[in-house]
Structure formats: C-alpha cells, structure tokens
C-alpha cells in the first residue's frame, strides 16, 4: 500500500531533513484539501506526524487535529509524542485508524504488550528509527533521533513479535527527507527475518523506480512524503506503480 505522509508544524505542512528541526522546508498546501484529494483517489491510510507534539507533547496541535480527524478519521495514521496510555486513549476516542508509537517502544517496552492487548494489533504501529553503524548494526534512536539507545533493531523486533505486533514503521534516519533513495538492504533483511510483520518503509524515496525496488523487497507499505509534495511524481503514478508490481508478485 502507498501511504502519503504529511508532517505538521505550527499548523503548516513541512518536511525535515534527517529529522533536523533547523533544516525545515515549508510547503504551501492546505492540509484539509490534500487529505480530501488523497481520499478521493482511493488512498486508505494517510500518515500524519505532529512535529510540535513530537518535540513537546504538551504542545500537541489539538485544534488542528480535531478538525481533520473529525472529517477524515477513518483514514488517519497519526504519530508524534504519543508516549503513554492517556495519549493512546485520546486518539482512540477520536476514532483514528491507527496511532504510531516511537520513543515509548523503547522507554516503556514493558507496557507495550498491555497496549496491544487493550487496543488491538491493527491499531498500534511501532515506529523504529535506525542508524546503520559499523558491521551493519542497526541501532535504534529515539526522542527525535537525538538519543542513541544502543539497542539493535532485531532484538526489539523479536520482542515486539512476541507481543503480537502487526505493524512496524522502520526508517533509516540517514535517508529521511533526503530524496537520495531508500535503504533497500535494510528492508530486505528485516522482511526476510520477520515475515509475519507488516513493515512500512520510510525515507529517501525520490523516484517511481524506488517504489518498484522497495516492492521487490516485499515490504507491505511504502510511506512517501517529500517526493509527493515536490511533485517528483504524482500519487496516482505511485499507486499505479504499486498495483503493477503487485500483479507481478
């Protein structure tokens, strides 16, 4: 599935370069119009990140999200500063399709099983952001990619699988927002090792060929942000490419 991504900061659509708030690009789109357009084309899930909430959960853009969730709640996968049961319950009560949990996957790993049991494994998406180190060690970073956890990706995936996790959004930080292409080796490795997990690939996608190559790794979903906003290709072209690749599987 193709999942368009929209990052929101101060009620505006933006993109960060490798998660850096100092390297910020604003885009002149109206959020509600883009959502309406994506839904009209048959997009099932739209990935939205509250960058204010990610930076400080107390600054969550509640007014903005109340408006869009009220209209598009069945299509929204939302993340950004969701770190406890109260945050999960808040978005669950609004009726979003899925919520994305990042830092809390590491900081509150002992609670994750309870959250999955309570809300279901189709509701919770685990977001794992990695840097590829020496010897191909995939180390997880949290807290806006500032904190090195020194924990390897595979060890957390094994634990999450034991918790009955279904959806995992995995991002190579070095690729995010760069348009330099995705880390195909990363996705091929984790899909091969954890075939029961539905992976969402994110970061670096700049061409239609990137979609084809990612699809060949057998990831279940591809998240695309900057390329669509900068019209490198259209959402329709992305969807057609995905469907064409599906027909060849």
The confidence score (pLDDT) of residue 179 equals: 79
User: For residue range 182-213, what is the model confidence (pLDDT) as tens digits?
Assistant: 999 999 999 999 999 999 999 889 999 999 99
168 neighbors 200 (Cβ within 8 angstroms): yes
Domain assignments of the chain as residue spans, ordered by start: 2-248
Nearest alpha carbon to residue 132 among 84, 176, 66, 80: 176
Taking residues 130-152, what's their average pLDDT? 89
CB 32 within 8 A of CB 71: yes
d(CA 238, CA 242): 6
d(CA 185, CA 190): 9
| Residue range 136-164: mean pLDDT, rounded | 92
DSSP state of 207: S
Residue pair 15/51 in contact (Cβ under 8 Å)? The answer is no
CATH class of 2-248: alpha beta
Q: Whole-prediction pTM value?
A: 0.93
What residues act catalytically? Answer: 7, 129
């Amino acid at each position: 599935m193709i999942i368009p991504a929209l990052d929101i900061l101060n009620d505006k659509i933006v993109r960060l370069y490798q998660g850096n708030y100092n390297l910020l690009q604003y885009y002149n789109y109206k959020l509600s119009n883009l959502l309406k357009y994506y839904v009209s084309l048959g997009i099932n899930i739209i990935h939205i990140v509250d960058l204010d909430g990610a930076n400080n959960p107390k600054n969550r853009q509640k007014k903005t999200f109340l408006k869009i969730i009220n209209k598009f709640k069945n299509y929204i996968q939302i993340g950004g500063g969701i770190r406890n049961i109260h945050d999960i319950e808040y978005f669950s009560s609004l009726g979003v399709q899925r919520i994305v949990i990042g830092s809390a996957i590491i900081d509150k790993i002992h609670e994750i099983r309870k959250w999955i049991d309570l809300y279901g494994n189709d509701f919770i998406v685990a977001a794992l952001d990695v840097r590829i180190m020496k010897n191909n060690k995939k180390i997880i970073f949290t807290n806006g990619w500032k904190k090195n956890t020194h924990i390897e990706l595979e060890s957390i995936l094994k634990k999450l699988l034991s918790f009955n996790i279904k959806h995992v959004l995995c991002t190579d930080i070095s690729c995010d927002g760069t348009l330099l292409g995705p880390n195909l080796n990363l996705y091929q490795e984790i899909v091969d090792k954890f075939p029961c997990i539905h992976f969402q690939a994110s970061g670096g996608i700049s061409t239609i060929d990137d979609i084809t190559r990612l699809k060949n790794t057998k990831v279940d979903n591809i998240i695309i942000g900057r390329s669509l906003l900068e019209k490198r290709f259209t959402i329709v072209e992305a969807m057609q490419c995905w469907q064409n690749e599906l027909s060849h599987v």
